[in-house]
Each structure stands twice: as structure tokens, then as C-alpha cells.
Structure 1
């Protein structure tokens, strides 16, 4: 093993006892060489003391090298310099005593002991030095001189002071070293964190670039829907390819002109919406118009409404716009996003569908009316009376023809609702009479089904301005639905009462109920709840559509509450005559 490799294995951060003992070994080796040279600078005056000193330093050196000090308490290693200090004492006695030229070796173990942690070690170093210096006086034959005694006692005092100074300096150096090591460890940790953060930053940057490319690809691919982003005042700062295609302007043109989103809306629609919101009428150039688009969003709700966009060339495009808030990284609203879908084809399709339904309904009415007329003639023909069995068959045919006629009427009515053209014969109506008539008409059907039909009507007149026939039709639909969905021995309660400025009609049953996830679809044409299909309840899914249309046309509202297996409750609120509420 080379000397360099040997040095590389020595820890400089925490020197081992062998490293600390090395100067003492070198000093003794030099002293022995000088004593045994052909021209010695000193002589051995006591061979026994000389030999003991050499043996003791050898023992201390072997202990420093062979003992696994790392496994022992830190203070145990002090034994090595203590033995070396005793060795120096004997070596000094054997080479001239107080006149020995090798007394300076004493400093090496002295400094080692004094520099160890703890004030006790400084005291041990001073006491050991005192013994080494005082030993020649004890061994001297005859009385010692006053100078020797002063030197023997004065020098240890100086050594004691030096020991405490060395001990304090070593203590402070250790503290500084510990602080430096802690700072170095902290710097290393910070450096490691910085490296990790740099790696994560590079990785996140790569991911961000990938995500940006993906988002940009998706953004450019959205050409059938316009996406417009604005600040809090409606100034446009986001304009996707779909908006460019729909409205005929590029993003650069829109931003250069400082366009607002209200610039692409019909003034009449904005003013109508503002009136609904009970906001003062403003001109189209005023930012106040913007509240017509985002009033619900500012209140914390996403909103989807039908609007009409105006292209750069003046052409109008019917759209459905979903408005949502635009948030920053802290969740604060910084603007709005408007996603618009062109409804031109959808509305044309709906118009054609309604025309088709209306046409078919008209075409079916004539033959059905004719069939019913001839069936009536057959029943009333006195010249060729029908047998009981024939009358039974005729009754079945009449019932099915009337059922078809009602279905045709419902189809025609829904077509009129969709086109906004169904007529209302508005007059003063007392709802007690309308609801009472519906309950009376449904009585036989409820009795036949074994259902208890309960009426709870307000005794006071409840007057509204409306179409008595249409309102009766709505109540009939609700009650007949309740009868169909309520098993035998169930209960249906029809209530009528005044609630502030509204008349409140409730129809509650203890029937099979409707799943909560389906409640929002009940007023959709031809939709039937899963509980109805599972229980084979007859119907085509138009009754509630018609009912809601009638209620809405009268400025009212309809609410539904239901629990599957428990029952369903419909609540219709209609504004009383003379009330100030405006439902739009």
C-alpha cells in the first residue's frame, strides 16, 4: 500500500487517535536518533527511565492504531495522550532530567489533552504537566534550589492557563466547525433541492409545451363552435377559429378594433333580456348591455340561452350560447367565456318536424272524425239494430278512436307550442271551479282503480286571468298521471291555496315515484320515466310537456318533487289577478 493511499484513508474531518499520536511518534523517533548518533547532542543519564519512556510511547502508539476507538465513547481516546505524557516524563528523566533537551516533546500530548472537549481535560493536561516538570526535583539528590522550585511550580500554572485557553479555543473552533458543517449540509441540501427543482422545472416545461401543443391543436380543431373570451367588461381578447368562421372576422381584426361581445348581438334581444332582469334600458354602445349576457354568471351560475349573433356582413345566425366565468390561478374571476353553437340547422329541423306533426295531425283528424261519425250511425240505426256482442265490439272501436283523436290533439297542440302559436282565450277564471271540475271528472277513474282521491281546496275565490279550458287540461293531465302511477289503495291529494301573489295548485300521490336523475327530463316531448316503462304504464310522454307549456303561457311555474317508491308531488304556481309580479 503506497503512502498516498494510506493518507487517503485518514479522515481529516475527525482525526483518529493515530493521526493525533503521529507528531509524538515522530518527535520520539527524532530524539532517539539524536541520542544514538555517532555524535550525540545529548546523553542517556538513566537507561531504565529512558527505556520506560520509549516503551510507554510505543504502547500508546499501538493502542492508538489497534483499538477500535469509533466503537468506544469519545472520551476514552484521552488514554493515549495521557500515556504519552507519562512517557515524556520518563524519557525526560532518562535524558538529563530538568536539563534534558527533549522537554519540548511535552507540548504534543499536552495540547492534545487540552484541546479535547470539556474543562476537565484542561485540568488533566495541567496536572500531568506539573507531574512531569516536578518529577526531576523529586528524583534529585539533595535539596532543590529555590529557582528550581519556582520553575517547578510556576511553569505548571502557566501551562494550566494555556490549557484553558487551548480548551476554549478548541471549543469555539468545534462550534464554528459544527456551524460550518451544518451550513455546508444545508447548502448541499439546497443545492440538491435546486437540482431537483431544476429537473422538475425542465420536466414540467416539457409537459407544458406538450400540453400547449395539444391544446392548440384542439383549439384550432374547434371550427363548428365559436369560443369568445372577454374581460370583466366584455372586451374580447380570445377568439377561436370557430368564431372566425361563424362571425366572419379574424382574431387580429377583432382585437385591433377593440370589439365587445355585445357588438355581435341583436340590440332588441339585449334590451328584452335587460327588461326581464329589471335593468334600465341602455343604448347598444353602453357597457350596461353586457349584464344581459352575464347576469346569471356573475351570480355564480353557468347559463345556456338562445341568442342571435350578427355577422360582419350583417347576416343573423341563431345560436345557443353557454356563458361561464373565466378564472385565474387563484380562483378569482377575471372575465367570461362564451361558447356558441350554430342552431340554424337544428331550428330548421325543429320547424320541419313541427310542420310535419301539425300536417299529420290535421290529416288524421278528418278520417278519425269520419270513423267516429259512422260508428255513431251504426249504433243509432233503428232499422238494423246491433246485437249485444256487436255493440261491445263497437264500443271498443269507439274508445280506441277517441283515444287516437286525443293523441292527435296532443300532437297538434305540442306543435303549436313549439311554434309559439297556440291560442289562449284569456278571461277571469276562478281556479276553484277549474280544479273542482277536474277532481269531479277524475272521480270515476280513481274509484275504478281503488284509489282515494282527496280534495283540499281554499274556500276563498282565487281569481286569475287565463284560459279556463287550457288550465283545466293541465290539471286533468296531472291528476290522470297520478292515477296511472298510483297502485290500488293509494292516495291522491289535490290542493288549491293562496301563496302571497300566487295561486298554488298541488297534485300529490303515493305512487311508484320517479328517479331523481330523470326529473329534469319529464317535460321533454315523448320522454317517459323508467318507472313507467318498467311497470308498463300506458302513455306517449306528451302530458307533462303540454302541462308545462300551458303553465308557462300563463306566466306561472311548475315544480316537481319525487322519491322512487314513495310518491310524486307536482306544484303549479299561477299569478293571481292584480298581482304585481312579472315573470317575463
Structure 2
């Protein structure tokens, strides 16, 4: 068996105790050799000599086989104590007090003194005292006074030495523990530094990739101008879209230190400032830049139509979305203005409105003629129609009236899009308008199996308004509610006063509208997905007309709906209605 294989069998928990025992083993081996050689140290008591050798052998075996690492550290002192007693036996067996092997006492003594704990000082001192006093006790007589003095004086010296050794060992253990802890912390810091370095390299690569992506996107945005400013409106960001829109490069803009108001119409900024001063009368706005960012400063994004002025004097109609620029701490450091050129879109809308208006005018004349001739045929007494012909005539007449109403709606929406349509304001009792609309819709509701409930207060609700247009708005809401409510459902029309506002609410138990579509309901020709899915007839003009009428009266339209539950639409009107919009279109052209 090789030495390496033999050492591999040593339990991993005991090498520390065994290694501390090695010096004692070597010392005893040398003593045994000296005692065995001729003319060496004579063995005066063979049994005690052998007992000492045997005891140190037992201590060595215990150092090897006992798992001291699993026991309390204080138990390990058993090995040097046994070795110390073995030295005493060896000394008694080789001349007692005259034995030259008393020096071996230092080996287990130092081991005991270096162990943690102050109790080991006493153990080392007492053990040494026992070893040194043993010859005097065993021999009894034949010792000089000097031997006795040494036997008692030496342990005191050993005690002092044990105190010094224990303290030095204690301090060394503290320093070793601190060094080990510092080493572990250093290893942890090194590992963290390596990890941080790896993450830094990875983040740097990601940052470069993100920067390239952002730069690519930034260069690709050529259809919208993106202009960034500081808190005072000085331009510091100018994208390729802005270069295309204004015909001026970023370098030219930044070198000239342009402010964004330099590219706006002064008249529009002045009008906006006047509107702000009218709403906030406590502070007059003098900074033109405030006209662009007052809403953003209040914490909301602002989308508004403006007119940009190019350096060559050309004007560009744009829709601008203004938002704040934030730093890494979330503090506002400037503003971003994203503008979309609306010139073509507005021209297209104008042409579309002109086309709708033209078609409406062109259709009204033949439809009126058709209705006139249908009425003549119905009233012709010389050639009366049969009952079947009368039925056919009624269908044609009903559909002609339907087309005429549709043409009127188209013409009205064209007037709304142009920004002007006539209002004939007068003192109106709103309860009468609502009641009339409810009574007009009762036959249709009854035919559809829908219960129509009117809730109008007895006290009059008066305001200045156009009764014809308000009636048209209420009719549209009730008609929609009945159409979108299945048989057996209920439509409730109520009128109430809330402070200085009158509220007309039309609530149904119909099919409802998806929440994502509520914001689009007032757009022309828009129809909710629930309407198309359930094949409810209509063209999507009713709500847009209603909203235009309500807005012209200075009110608003509130819509709440839940799919499968029902819809509630409220007309909110101020008691004091603003002056009517200027009539730019002949009243005779407005369809009833």
C-alpha cells in the first residue's frame, strides 16, 4: 500500500488534531530510540515507560479515528492532555525528576495553551504541575529542597507562558478570521465585478443596437416633423421630417437658435392666448410659447390644429401633438411637437363635403318631383288606383321619403363639416320637445315590441334653443335606442335639471356598444360592430348630426354603454345658450 493511499484513508474530520499530535509522536519516538541505545538514558521503571509510550499511542489513534470536526472544539484538548500525562509516565520511567525528557512537556503544553478558551490556560498549567510534581509524590524521599522549589515554581512560569501563548493565539485567530472574511468579501466583490463587467459589456452591446435602431427609426420618420425644445421653446431637436416639411436643415435651425414660435402664425398664437386669458382671467398670458404648451404644463398631452410657416413664406396646415420631454428622473426638461401635414387630408375632406353637398342638392330635386307625382297619382279621382296599386304606391312613397331624409342628413352633415349651419333660437320649453319626440316614436316602438317610457318633470325647463334642431337630435337618439333594443326591451327618455344644466337622457336595454368603439360613435358613417353583426339598418349619420346640434347649442353629448347590457346617451345643455352660429347657408337649403 503506497503512502498516498494510506493517507487517503485518514478521516477528513481529524487531520487537524492528528497534525497537532505529530510533534509529540516524533518527540516520543526520539525518546524511545535514546532509551533503547546502549549507554543511552536508562529506563528505571519499565512498566511506567511502556505505559507512557502506550498512552501517547492511544492519543494518536484517537486523533486519527475520532471525527473531532463534528464535536465541540473544546473536546479536542483531550489529545494533548493524554499526551501530557504520557510525558509524565515517560519521565517517571526514565529517572523520575532526573529524566532528561521533561522537555517533551512543552509539546502538548503549547497545544493546550493555543486552543480557544481561557479554561485551557488552567488545563495546561495544572497538567504541567501534575507532570512536574509527580516524581516528588511517587518517589517520596531523596529530593532536595531545590527539586521541590522547581516542582512548584516551574508550573507558575508555565502558567504565565500559557497566558501569553493563549492570548497570542486568540489574537491570531481574530486576525485570521478577519483575513478570511476579507478574503471571502474580496472574492465576492471580484465575482460581482466580473458579473458587472459582463453585464456592462452586454448592456453596451444592447445600447449600441438600440441606438442604431432608434437612429434608423428617426431617419425613417419623414412624413411627420418632430421638433424638440427646451422649457423656453428653444429648438434643440429637428428630425428629417421637419427638414422635409420646412425645407431647412437641422444645422441651420440650431445655428440660428430658432424658437418654435418662429414657425407659427402670429394670429393663431394671439387667438390662443386670448382664449387662455378668457378661461384664466387671473393671469394674462404674454409668452407666445405658452399658447403651445399650457395644456402640457398642466399634465396632459395636447393635440391641436395649427398652421406652420416655412422660411419661404409657404403655409402648411398641420395637426400637432405636444407632449413633455422627461429626463431619467422623470423631471420635465422640455417639450416634443409631432406634426402631421393635414393639407391633403383637409383638401380631400373639403372635396368630399362639396361632393356630398352637390349630390344632396342634385338628389333633392328629382326626389321632390317623384313625391309630387306620387301624390298626384294617389289623389287622381278620374283614374282611381286599385287597392293593390295603392299598396305599391305606399311602398314607393315611403322609400322616397326615406331617401329624402337621407339626403337631408347628408346635406346637414356637409354644413356641419363646413363649420356653419343655421340655428333659429327662441325661448323653448324643453319638456314639450322631449314629449313630442317620445309620442312620435311610440308607434315604431310598439311595432318593434319595445316599451317606450317618458319621464318628463311637471315643472317647465326653459332655455333658448332651436326647437326644430333639438327635436331632431332627440328623435335621432330615440330612433337609435329603439332600433338597437330587441323585442321585450325598454327605452327610457328622461329630462332633468342639474344646477344650471338641462339633461336629456335616452337609456335602453339593447345590444350595447364595445367600449373601444365609444370614441368613434360620433364620426360620420361609423357603425358599431354590434350593429353590423346584428344586421341593424342604418348609415351612421344620426349621432354625428346629434352631436353637431348639441355642440352648436353649447352643450355636450355623454355616452355610456356596455355590450349586451345597454346604452345611455345624454344631451347636456346649458341654460344660457351662446349666440347662434352665423348663417352662411340659405335656410331654405336645410332639410327638415
The answer on whether the counterparts of 1:266 and 1:310 sit within 8 Å (CA) in structure 2 is yes
Give me the whole-angstrom Cα distance separating, in 2, the residues matched to 1:211 and 1:166: 65
The answer on whether the counterparts of 1:307 and 1:321 sit within 8 Å (CA) in structure 2 is yes
Instruction: Quickly say closer, same or farther: Cα 1:287–1:60, change in 2 above 3 A.
Output: farther
Which residue in the other structure is 2:83 paired with?
Answer: 84
| CA displacement 1:509-544 (0-9 Å, x = unmatched) | 343333333221111111122333344332111011
The answer on whether the counterparts of 2:225 and 2:241 sit within 8 Å (CA) in structure 1 is yes
The answer on whether the counterparts of 1:306 and 1:321 sit within 8 Å (CA) in structure 2 is yes
More displaced 10-residue stretch of structure 1: 504-513 or 571-580: 571-580
| CA displacement 1:122-146 (0-9 Å, x = unmatched) | 2222222112111222343635322
TM superposition shift of 1:4: 11
More displaced 10-residue stretch of structure 1: 47-56 or 542-551: 47-56
Instruction: Quickly say closer, same or farther: Cα 1:449–1:55, change in 2 above 3 A.
Output: closer
Instruction: Quickly say closer, same or farther: Cα 1:140–1:491, change in 2 above 3 A.
Output: closer
What secondary structure does 1:16 align onto?
helix
Which residue in the other structure is 1:396 paired with?
Answer: 395
What secondary structure does 2:123 align onto?
helix
Query: Aligned ranges for residues 254-403 of structure 1 at < 5 Å?
Result: 254-278=253-277, 288-403=287-402
Give me the whole-angstrom Cα distance separating, in 2, the residues matched to 1:506 and 1:542: 19
What secondary structure does 1:520 align onto?
helix
Give me the whole-angstrom Cα distance separating, in 1, the residues matched to 2:446 and 2:67: 105
Which residue in the other structure is 1:26 paired with?
Answer: 26
Which residue in the other structure is 1:462 paired with?
Answer: 462
Instruction: Work out whether 1:527 is the aligned partner of 2:523.
Output: no
Which residue in the other structure is 2:119 paired with?
Answer: 120
Query: Aligned ranges for residues 66-215 of structure 1 at < 5 Å?
Result: 66-140=65-139, 142-215=141-214
Query: Aligned ranges for residues 566-581 of structure 1 at < 5 Å?
Result: 566-577=565-576
The answer on whether the counterparts of 2:13 and 2:70 sit within 8 Å (CA) in structure 1 is no
Give me the whole-angstrom Cα distance separating, in 2, the residues matched to 1:64 and 1:492: 98
Give me the whole-angstrom Cα distance separating, in 2, the residues matched to 1:421 and 1:231: 39
The answer on whether the counterparts of 1:458 and 1:498 sit within 8 Å (CA) in structure 2 is no
Using the size of structure 2 for normalisation, the TM-score is 0.87
TM superposition shift of 1:435: 3.5
Give the unaligned 5+ runs of structure 2.
Answer: 580-592
What secondary structure does 2:289 align onto?
helix
Instruction: Work out whether 1:224 is the aligned partner of 2:217.
Output: no
What secondary structure does 1:277 align onto?
helix
More displaced 10-residue stretch of structure 1: 384-393 or 474-483: 474-483
Give me the whole-angstrom Cα distance separating, in 1, the residues matched to 2:110 and 2:495: 107
Give me the whole-angstrom Cα distance separating, in 1, the residues matched to 2:387 and 2:12: 123
What secondary structure does 2:312 align onto?
coil
TM superposition shift of 1:202: 1.6
More displaced 10-residue stretch of structure 1: 411-420 or 505-514: 505-514
Which residue in the other structure is 1:405 paired with?
Answer: 404
Which residue in the other structure is 2:559 paired with?
Answer: 560
Which residue in the other structure is 2:472 paired with?
Answer: 473
Instruction: Quickly say closer, same or farther: Cα 1:36–1:453, change in 2 above 3 A.
Output: closer
The answer on whether the counterparts of 1:274 and 1:280 sit within 8 Å (CA) in structure 2 is no
Give me the whole-angstrom Cα distance separating, in 1, the residues matched to 2:490 and 2:117: 95
Which residue in the other structure is 1:246 paired with?
Answer: 245
| CA displacement 1:192-213 (0-9 Å, x = unmatched) | 1222122112211111111111
Which residue in the other structure is 2:585 paired with?
Answer: none
Instruction: Quickly say closer, same or farther: Cα 1:317–1:18, change in 2 above 3 A.
Output: same
Give the unaligned 5+ runs of structure 1.
Answer: none
Give me the whole-angstrom Cα distance separating, in 2, the residues matched to 1:333 and 1:210: 27
Which residue in the other structure is 2:16 paired with?
Answer: 16
Instruction: Work out whether 1:416 is the aligned partner of 2:415.
Output: yes
Give me the whole-angstrom Cα distance separating, in 2, the residues matched to 1:552 and 1:522: 15
Give me the whole-angstrom Cα distance separating, in 1, the residues matched to 2:485 and 2:111: 102
TM superposition shift of 1:443: 4.1
Which residue in the other structure is 1:549 paired with?
Answer: 548
Give me the whole-angstrom Cα distance separating, in 2, the residues matched to 1:552 and 1:14: 95
Instruction: Quickly say closer, same or farther: Cα 1:496–1:272, change in 2 above 3 A.
Output: farther
Give me the whole-angstrom Cα distance separating, in 2, the residues matched to 1:3 and 1:262: 93
Using the size of structure 1 for normalisation, the TM-score is 0.88
Instruction: Quickly say closer, same or farther: Cα 1:162–1:279, change in 2 above 3 A.
Output: farther
Give me the whole-angstrom Cα distance separating, in 1, the residues matched to 2:84 and 2:181: 35
The answer on whether the counterparts of 1:439 and 1:455 sit within 8 Å (CA) in structure 2 is no
More displaced 10-residue stretch of structure 1: 385-394 or 152-161: 152-161
Give me the whole-angstrom Cα distance separating, in 1, the residues matched to 2:162 and 2:463: 112
Give me the whole-angstrom Cα distance separating, in 2, the residues matched to 1:147 and 1:559: 118
What secondary structure does 1:452 align onto?
strand
The answer on whether the counterparts of 2:431 and 2:456 sit within 8 Å (CA) in structure 1 is no
| Number of matched pairs | 575
Give me the whole-angstrom Cα distance separating, in 1, the residues matched to 2:429 and 2:270: 35
The answer on whether the counterparts of 1:454 and 1:491 sit within 8 Å (CA) in structure 2 is no
The answer on whether the counterparts of 2:14 and 2:69 sit within 8 Å (CA) in structure 1 is no
More displaced 10-residue stretch of structure 1: 53-62 or 79-88: 53-62
Give me the whole-angstrom Cα distance separating, in 2, the residues matched to 1:35 and 1:261: 109
Instruction: Quickly say closer, same or farther: Cα 1:261–1:279, change in 2 above 3 A.
Output: farther
TM superposition shift of 1:497: 4.0
Give me the whole-angstrom Cα distance separating, in 2, the residues matched to 1:299 and 1:257: 30
Give me the whole-angstrom Cα distance separating, in 1, the residues matched to 2:510 and 2:93: 120
